[in-house]
Amino acid sequence: MNANKRVKVDVSKSKQLELDPEMQGTFLGYSVQAEHKLLCYSLEEILVEKLRAMMQVMQSKDFYDFWHL
């Protein structure tokens, strides 16, 4: 249970979004948790970013992410 888990986050202050961000609810794993909302990229924006990444870098993780979305 002591597995190291990592999350990679790319932050850009200069990137311009084409679509407005959306408020999305979080996944609640337990019924006693209060629901939270996060400001997120729209699904369309995420798909376009994945397509761009697939064309530039050709990493298998991007193909998997695109298929899963």
Half-sphere exposure of residue 9: CA atoms within 13 angstroms, side-chain side: 2
Residue span of the structural domain in which 63 resides: 43-69
pLDDT number for residue 2: 65
Residue 23 has pLDDT above 90, yes or no: yes
> Is residue 22 one of the residues assigned to a domain?
no
> Is residue 48 one of the residues assigned to a domain?
yes
Count the domains in the chain.
1
pLDDT number for residue 1: 60
Question: For residue 21, what are the contacts with CB-CB under 8 A and spacing of at least 6?
Answer: 39, 40, 41, 42
> Is residue 30 one of the residues assigned to a domain?
no
> Is residue 67 one of the residues assigned to a domain?
yes
Average pLDDT over residues 2-26: 82
Q: How far apart are CA 21 and CA 35, in angstroms?
A: 19
> Is residue 61 one of the residues assigned to a domain?
yes
Chain-centroid distance, C-alpha 38: 12
